[in-house]
């Protein structure tokens, strides 16, 4: 199993650990296979993504939550608010994770972007809903499990809303002057999207209108010229 050099681990142990996590994470932890990393999100009550994480089941009462280091403390504090109701212990590990193949963050992020997976960090936390980033298509959201924080908003969007936005894979030399979380504008300087993830000359753009494929500008009024612009 691979994680990057920029990941940290929140370890949760105790007899109520599974029940506790089922009430906070978006996926069904009952379905985790041994030696599998199951993707999940922690959301706010408004259905906004606080963190994307990978869950490793150690045993029936122990779980490791693997997530990007700039968001680890925030995720820890978010979970801590709910943990008081359960018999479990939680710790944010500072030592290098064991049992994983540690790869460079640049390689990890490139692979995520090319596979249409936007990883949340401190620049993008609580900006997007799971549907904004296409998480419902990546086996990150379970619509069959019980309630969890943000579930009502996410389910309503899934079953009742017509999705007009889209996440696009892009490659372009013209993205060098933008950062993750930056707004994307039209020619009238109206915000039409955001930079969801980026490294080098590739990235993932969230665009409010998925029919729009040109006429996109940065905050300085510079137009983006794309070598590749494709819906994820």
39 and 97 inside one domain: yes
The reported pLDDT for the residue numbered 33 is 84
Its pTM stands at: 0.94
SS3 17: helix
User: Residue 109 belongs to what H/E stretch?
Assistant: helix 105-114
104 and 9 inside one domain: yes
188 and 122 inside one domain: no
Domain residues for the domain of 69 are 2-160
137 and 219 inside one domain: no
Q: Are strands 2-4 and 101-103 parallel, antiparallel or unpaired?
A: parallel
pLDDT at 111 over 80: yes
Cα 169–chain centre separation: 16
Burial 182-199 (b: 16+ CB within 10 A, else e): bebbeeeeeebbbbbbbb
Digit-coded pLDDT (tens) for 6-37: 999 999 999 999 999 999 999 999 999 877 89
The reported pLDDT for the residue numbered 34 is 76
CATH number of the domain where residue 188 is located: 2.40.30
Residues 6+ away with beta carbon under 8 Å from 211: none
């Amino acid at each position: 199993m691979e994680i990057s050099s920029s990941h940290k681990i929140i370890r949760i142990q105790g007899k109520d650990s599974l029940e506790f996590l089922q009430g906070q994470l978006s996926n069904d932890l009952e379905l985790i296979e041994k030696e599998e990393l199951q993707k999940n999100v922690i959301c706010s009550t408004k259905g906004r993504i606080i963190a994307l994480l990978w869950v490793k089941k150690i045993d029936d009462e122990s779980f490791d939550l693997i997530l990007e280091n700039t968001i680890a403390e925030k995720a820890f504090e978010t979970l801590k608010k709910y943990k008081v109701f359960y018999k479990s212990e939680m710790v944010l590990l500072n030592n290098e994770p064991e049992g994983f193949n540690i790869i460079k963050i640049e390689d990890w992020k490139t692979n995520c972007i090319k596979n249409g997976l936007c990883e949340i960090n401190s620049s993008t936390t609580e900006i997007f809903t799971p549907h904004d980033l296409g998480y419902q298509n990546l086996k990150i959201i379970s619509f069959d499990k019980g309630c969890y924080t943000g579930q009502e908003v996410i389910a309503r969007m899934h079953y009742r809303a017509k999705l007009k936005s889209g996440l696009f894979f892009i490659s372009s030399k013209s993205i060098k002057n933008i950062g993750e979380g930056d707004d994307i504008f039209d020619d009238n300087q109206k915000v039409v999207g955001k930079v969801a993830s980026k490294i080098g000359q590739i990235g993932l753009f969230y665009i409010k209108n998925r029919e729009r494929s040109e006429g996109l500008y940065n905050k300085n009024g510079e137009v983006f010229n794309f070598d590749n612009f494709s819906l994820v």
